[in-house]
Amino acid sequence: PRRVQDVRNRVRAALKDLSQTMQGQRPTVAEIAAYAHLSEDEVRTGLEALDSFSALSLDAELPGGDDGYALNDALGARDTGFDLVIDRESVKPALHELPERERAILYLRFFQGMTQSCIADQLGISQMHVSRLLSDCCATLREQVLADAA
């Protein structure tokens, strides 16, 4: 919690300042409380928070291991292929709802890489009409996928 983090930071600062003035002696809970203007219970909470926090480097060798592996070696990487599968499967039901001509236009544009002009020539319609159909199809698919996700 934010309050505990604030108390932890105040206790840490008080410990640092008091340790410098006390020639290596560890200050007591009461001394920290007086210095940091906290109650003794708050100081104990702050000390517990300090003891429970330890940052590990992702590049540090794993504890208990002599094989040279770091924590970073055990973490997975983002798989863009997985995202592509999720996207395709999400849109598939909505694609089946589109009329055949709109599905064909989407296929030619996004899977065959054809320009709108080439699609227009192949289907015997204007490039502007292809542009409108693509825009409408994409909007319809977006709405359906987002509605299904909600």
**In this prediction, what percent of the chain has a pLDDT beyond 70?**
95
Domains 2-56 and 80-149 share a fold: yes
Is the pLDDT assigned to residue 132 strictly greater than 70? yes
Is the pLDDT assigned to residue 61 strictly greater than 80? no
Q: Between 77 and 29, where is the model more confident?
A: 29
Q: Between 36 and 68, where is the model more confident?
A: 36
Q: Between 99 and 26, where is the model more confident?
A: 99
Evaluate whether 43 touches 27 at the Cβ level (below 8 Å).
no
The CATH architecture assigned to 2-56 reads: Orthogonal Bundle (1.10)
pLDDT category of residue 53 using cuts at 50, 70 and 90: low
Give residue limits of the domains in the chain: 2-56, 80-149
Mean pLDDT, the chain, integer: 89
Mean pLDDT of 36-51: 93
Is the pLDDT assigned to residue 66 strictly greater than 90? no
CA-to-CA distance for 107 and 71, rounded, in angstroms?
43
Give CA angle at 118 (117, 124), nearest 5°.
Answer: 85
Look at the domain 80-149 and name its fold.
Arc Repressor Mutant, subunit A (1.10.10)
**In this prediction, what percent of the chain has a pLDDT beyond 90?**
57
What pLDDT score does 65 carry? 65
Is the pLDDT assigned to residue 130 strictly greater than 70? yes
